[in-house]
Chain A
Amino acid sequence: MSDSTKNLKRSSAEREGVQVHKRVKTDGDAKMDTKPNPYLAHYNDNEVVASPLDEFERHKTTALQAAKAESEDNNPWTGKPHSQQYFGILKTRRDLPVHKQRQEFLDMYHKTQILVFVGETGSGKTTQIPQYVLYDELPHETGKLIACTQPRRVAAMSVAQRVANELDVDLGEEVGYSIRFENRTGPKTLLKYMTDGQLLREAMHDHDMSRYGCIILDEAHERTLATDILMALLKQIAERRKDLKIIVMSATLDAQKFQTYFFNAPLLAVPGRTYPVEIFYTSEPERDYVEAAVRTVLQIHASEPEGDILLFLTGEEEIEDACRRIGLEVDEMIRESDAGPMAVYPLYGTLPPHQQQRIFDKAPAAVRKGGRPGRKCIVSTNIAETSLTIDGIVYVVDPGFSKQKIYNPRTRVESLLVSPISKASAQQRAGRAGRTRPGKCFRLYTENAFKKELIEQTYPEILRSNLANTVLELKKLGVQDLVHFDLMDPPAPETMMRALEELNYLACLDDDGELTTLGGLASEFPLDPALAVMLISSPEFYCSNEILSITSLLSVPQIWVRPNNARKRADEMKQMFAHPDGDHLTLLNAYHAYKAAEQAGDDVKKWCHEHFLSFRHLSSADNVRAQLKRIMETHDIELVSTPFQDKDYYTNIRRALLAGFFMQVAMRESSTSKVYKTVKDDQLVMIHPGTVVSTPYDWVVYNEFVLTTKQYVRTVTNIRAEWLLEIAPTYYDVDTFEKGEIKSALTRITEKIRRRQAMKGGR
């Protein structure tokens, strides 16, 4: 009874609200009753502060209008007065190169549905264009958000923060961001920065992206996998939804390809604020590019005027090594000849964030007054190529290599290999030197090599990756025709075939290529299909808790720390966690020990340090685990464990691994050999020396196939061949195997099983 009255009351209040609202709208100056309705406080606010935005007409605004609104005393978006630093920021914003072309941008934006925008780094496009759109799109009226995608999570977060400051609003309110494991948006959010992957995930549930009125794809020149798919997707959606505006922003000048791809979309180019960069080549090829790079840095330090140095190398090890060598030599230089001080900072993806931040430190001051000025030297992978902007760089040293992901669908190996960069990327690198003043770029190769050995453009990620996950996503996005899906760079047919085949064996696609229930479920997880399937089927093996832990540990970088100066002790520590049956179980042991230490209230950081484990990666694995757990719970996947005392505790886990990784199994070639042969692909591999497995087992399941001087399989666990036949009978259908050791081994085992069953039956 009371319930119903309450309901009634509320509905009447609502009705009232609507009426009040109407009144306000129609005759704004009509006298309101003295007591304002507390539920409608926001309407009253609007009433009190007349927003300059009220006069704006969607898609008809001008730069002048917007500039006026920006210069008001009150914030047009919140109605609150502007903070003190706002006008300072506004002034710097108006100095940005894009600002001059605001009107031009708006004119073009009004005329077209898809716009290609080219602005070099430093033009201010990432922060400004979304704001220009905001003042034109007026999402608070239409209710359709503006999305701006970034390839990297860090960029999405930091840019959102910056733009929130510029608009003088709180981050998470009018301006927010959304990245894979974090969402900082609210009901008031109008402008949303997000990773491209995140937008793609949203599109899986909202095929038309109907929440958005304008989608801005930033850094499209990077051609990440997700951006490529988004472009193809948006191209389709643009036909269906004529009201959706799309802006593709790129930093390089190969925009013609983007234009052609997007139905000859118009192009707007804004020059960056860059200074000329003088380029030097060597006259002969270098014999050792690391050595040459170190020397070049030292020489610059000795002979060039003030200015910071950026050196590009390929990987963590190389970078740390170069840093050490440069540091030593510079010390000697200072001792011997009073050179200026130099701070050397490494920079690579797996570096802890606080160490990454150090690259923004000021260069050290001269050791004494009047002494030579100091400088900093940043030794970086290609993350400093486009994504990070470090001011003060005047000298760039470019050996011409980077580590790139390559996928070979025939052998199913995805590996990071050192390979020559592209011309476009060499130019990007050189451009880094001209941000603050004219700079110099030293290329450690000849001009001839530049012309002849470098490809024009870096291959987009879609051509370099395993597409199993992508195909699954596409299926989930409702793309039926994979062959004619209009990608800017269609992948090699073999890569597509391999992906389809893998998904079929994993039972994510049925024999007609349609998504199965399992496939649909697997696509909910931000994981590789094999991992996702393993996780989903783990309750059948009574060990989903453990598999969940292992999955999280496999999706973060290596947790084992093995510093060069303490390798032996690190290995001894690892042996403490070792499980004789394999690395997966060892990982699990380490994780359990970590959790135990955490629960015991130890200083976990110290504990990790003592045990040569990476605290950062373990805690991020912990974070991933929590996220995955949430997804499992929403999809009612049971979280179960076999009791630890049970003798099958580890056996169950080993069997569960096979449910996802039955395609990554290798058999020992012969009982004396250390060489293994992968199943079906017949590749010869060795077990990576970092393993804890000491007894050579006949059959192993592996997590990855790495290519260095030899072909290695890493993170391996011992399994039994019978399980293969039992868990993945389709893949291990003996008839489909080529003649060879593996086939005969499998036949033997089938025979054995049959005999055993016959005996049982006979009994």
Chain B
Amino acid sequence: MGLAGAKNKRKLGNDPNNTKWSRNTDTFGQKILRAQGWQPGEYLGAKDAAHAEWHTEANTTHIRVTLKDDTLGLGAKRNNGDECTGLDAFQHLLGRLNGKSDEALEAEQKVRNDVKLSLYMQKKFGMMRFVKGGWLVGDQVKQTPDEEAEEVPDSAEASEAPEPAAVESKKRKADRRSDKEDGKLGKKEKKSKKRKAGSEADVGGEGGQKEKDKKSKRRKTESEDCEEPAVTPKTAESLDETSGASDAGNTKNDKKDKKDKKERRDKKEKKEKRRIEKAAAESGAETGDSISQEKKRKKKDATLESSSAPTPADRNSSTPTGSGYSTPVPTGSSRYLARSRFIAQKKMAFADSAALNQIFMIKS
């Protein structure tokens, strides 16, 4: 149990499993069962039953479950403080010690560097967002490469946001040119995204909760993006834009989606703005927070900062084919304003010898 972990003390009796009873062979029940021809170690039920092949351990002894009194998700492990965190800088060394090949290490290092860079970009400027504008075929813009129909609304859309559309279509073209690479690229991007999640936290430094909650955090603010990745490979910069395009046929839905998205984005911006204000207010004085929900969110943000990534091995074992739910999506710079304070705190923590001890796995 880590120092920060919840203390769950429970007094146990001398014989919490009551083995005294189970070892006792003179009980009435055992007497009756034996009288009817049962031997210890046997299943009950018909002799040589045809369906006996389906019998499991549950047919021999009661079902054992662990008492679950938290809201930890399925498969998540509580951090008991024995996981090493903040080892990003030593991944190279550790990887070699673990017998990874140099190429693999190189690749990993490269991914980490990429993540660092894009993270820097995010923090510095935030993300540019683009609206899907269709495919440029010849000199006409089309919704999808194969489908000619439904052009009109598309151009309307384009006229609404002409500039991004142009950029978009350019990008589309590029995409199409490198059609083959696309899949690979998408995968890689996705991976790097995931990395990002990790290293973003690494920047934060120590502590050590799952990056999960950060993601769920994200998920909320950035709700719309997350579904799509499962459908299409995504590129880091323009998630939503790429996504819908690849489901050919669903043009109508796409349209609706697009519209939704735009509106949502507006909303998001509004939210973000509000948050900046909030952050400002909070950093000024931690007083009047009206909406408790909001406050809670912020507090969670704080905890996020202290979170860190699991080891790469863990990460690889998770499924890249998932919904992309947990894949963090870059947010605007605003949240980083709110976070900068915590980042500063993190830096201070680095000066703290106890924290460093943990980081360098020095057991005192």
Contact = CB atoms under 8 A, between A and B. Distances in A.
Interface of A: 257, 260-261, 264, 278, 280-292, 295-296, 298-300, 302-305, 328-329, 332-333, 336-339, 372, 399-401, 404, 406-411, 417-420, 440, 442, 444-449, 452-454, 459, 463-464, 481-501, 504-505, 511, 513, 675, 677, 680-684, 707-710, 738
B165 to A, nearest CB: 21
A497 B65 contact: no
B60 to A, nearest CB: 6
B11 interface: yes
Nearest to A491: B44
19 contacts: A281-B322, A283-B318, A283-B320, A283-B326, A284-B212, A285-B76, A286-B216, A287-B73, A287-B216, A289-B72, A295-B220, A298-B220, A303-B260, A337-B264, A406-B62, A408-B62, A418-B68, A449-B74, A490-B55
Given A286-B212, A442-B325, A399 B220 contact: no
Interface residues of B, number: 95
Contacts of B11: 675, 684
B204 interface: no
B73 A299 contact: no
A284 B36 contact: no
A708 B69 contact: yes
Given A292-B216, A482-B44, 20 more contacts: A280-B323, A283-B318, A284-B310, A286-B76, A288-B73, A291-B71, A292-B219, A299-B220, A302-B223, A303-B224, A303-B261, A400-B73, A411-B17, A446-B75, A486-B46, A488-B51, A496-B44, A500-B29, A513-B35, A681-B18
Contacts of A337: 263-264, 266-268, 270-271
Q: Which 10 A-B pairs have the closest CB atoms?
A: A497-B29, A337-B267, A286-B73, A280-B323, A449-B75, A490-B45, A285-B76, A490-B44, A299-B223, A303-B224
Interface of B: 8, 10-22, 27-30, 32-33, 35-38, 40, 42-47, 49-51, 53-55, 58-63, 65, 67-69, 71-77, 194, 209-213, 215-216, 219-220, 223-227, 230, 253, 256-257, 260-261, 263-264, 266-268, 270-271, 293, 310, 317-327
Chain B CB within 10 Å — which of A261, A418, A490 has the most? A490
Contacts of B51: 257, 260-261, 488
Nearest to B327: A283
A482 B32 contact: yes
A300 B228 CA distance: 11
Contact of A709 (B8, B40, B320): B8
Nearest to B53: A260
A497 B317 contact: no
B60 A493 contact: yes
Contacts of A677: 13
A484 B270 contact: no
A457 to B, nearest CB: 9
Q: Is the interface of B mostly helix, strand, loop or mixed?
A: loop
Contacts of B43: 490
B49 A486 contact: yes
A445 B267 contact: no
Contacts of B317: 448
B44 A445 contact: no
A303 B293 CA distance: 22
Contacts of A485: 44-46
A299 to B, nearest CB: 4
Given A407-B62, A493-B44, A305 B74 contact: no
A305 B38 contact: no
B74 A286 contact: yes
A711 to B, nearest CB: 9
Contact of B10 (A289, A448, A484, A710): A710
Contacts of A449: 74-75
Contacts of B215: 284
A41 B53 CA distance: 59
B50 A260 contact: yes
